[in-house]
Amino acid sequence: MIIRSKAPLRIGLAGGGTDVAPYSDMYGGAILNATINLYASATIEPADDGKIVIDAVDRNEKLVLDADKELAIDGKLDLAKGIYNRLVKDFVGKPLSFKLTTYVDAPPGSGLGSSSTLVVAILGAFVEWLQLPLGEYDIARLAWEIERVDLQMAGGKQDQYAATFGGVNFMEFYDGNKVIVNPLRIRTDVLNELSYNMVLYYTQTSRYSSDIIETQMKNVTSKKESSIQATHNLKKQAVMMKESILKGELHEIGTILNFGWENKKKMASGITNPDIDNYYTTAIQSGATGGKISGAGGGGFMFFYCPGNTRFAVKTALEKLGGYVLPFEFTKKGLTTWRF
């Protein structure tokens, strides 16, 4: 018997960063995101040899460990080990023996929520294997706790919920780590037009999002007015984007994205750099009406809104700068698990 799972990566369309504490605790946050057809996947093969094998195929990293109730968190495939430790502690109470194989369609530091999506995929595989009584909100919340509390990795809350629920969602974040996921019912023609006009560009760079996020958190804690006001504006942007897409008024998307990008750059240092500014300027000059960096910033993927047929000129111009455009489609399903 094998147990498999997959969870989709996401594009943060608007409101990025408002899901990060302490801002979300103090002021409340709002984000609009959408999952795409890039995935994190996990396979569990139960064993009875007293060993745990963790094989991250995309990273070319593999560990063989003795099955124990707690695995050492030492910088080597800690996401998988943190999930195992929490499940044994809360649900199982005894060591498990298995082989876990993982793969992510995007590199770490891509800005598409790959790390958190992988946590959801691995957790989903264990839930399927052990038949744990966890619903969507339970899985997303547990994934967040493992990553942010147990492993002390800096970041927000949107990625775990996007990967678990899937689709286009308007998410609200409140004090006490309360999250409400509002799935949006969008006309098929609107969603098709939105994806057709989106150009997803990989800059061929990655970054440690935790450094940028920690700076962002410090700016809120120290009550840096410019950073807080910029984050307020990003929360407004999420509402603006939601209304525009629901009404099918896609001609406003570029302007809304540009409004968000100008404010995002004010949240923390390191979000942009000369290369990113050059990518953005090049896309706009080639016909895009707006865009943003995906995720915390500093590198990874960018995406641009290119109305009409300007996507082709934008693609050509951007690829001359050394990166590449990745085709994608929006997806409706979140975490999926099965056994065979």
Q: Give the tens place of pLDDT for each residue, 156-189.
A: 999 999 999 999 999 999 988 899 999 999 999 9
Pick the catalytic residue: 19, 55, 105, 159? 159
More confident residue, 111 or 244: 244
What is the 3-state secondary structure of 233-277? HHHHHHHHHHHHHHHCCHHHHHHHHHHHHHHHCCCCCCCCCHHHH
Let me know: does 227 contact 18? Beta carbons within 8 Å: no
Determine the average pLDDT of the residues in 298-302: 86
Give the tens place of pLDDT for each residue, 124-138.
Answer: 999 999 999 999 999
- What confidence tens digit (pLDDT) does each residue in 35-45 have? 999 999 999 99
- As a whole-number percent, the residues of the chain with pLDDT over 90 amount to 86
What is the predicted pLDDT for the residue at 117? 97
User: In order of start, what are the domains of the chain with their CATH numbers?
Assistant: 3-185 (3.30.230.10), 188-325 (3.30.70.890)
- Give the pLDDT band (50/70/90) at residue 207: low
C-alpha distances (whole Å) from 156 to each of 209, 247, 248 are 11, 28, 29
CA distance 29 to 17: 8
The pLDDT of residue 318 is 97
* pLDDT top residue among 269 and 121: 121
Whether 208 has a pLDDT exceeding 70, the answer reads no
**Pairwise CA distance, residues 223 & 339, whole Å:** 50
Is residue 158 within 8 Å of residue 218, measured between CB atoms?
Answer: no
Is residue 159 among the annotated active site residues? yes
pTM of the model: 0.95
Highest-confidence segment of 101-115, 228-242, 264-278: 228-242
Mean confidence (pLDDT) of the chain? 94
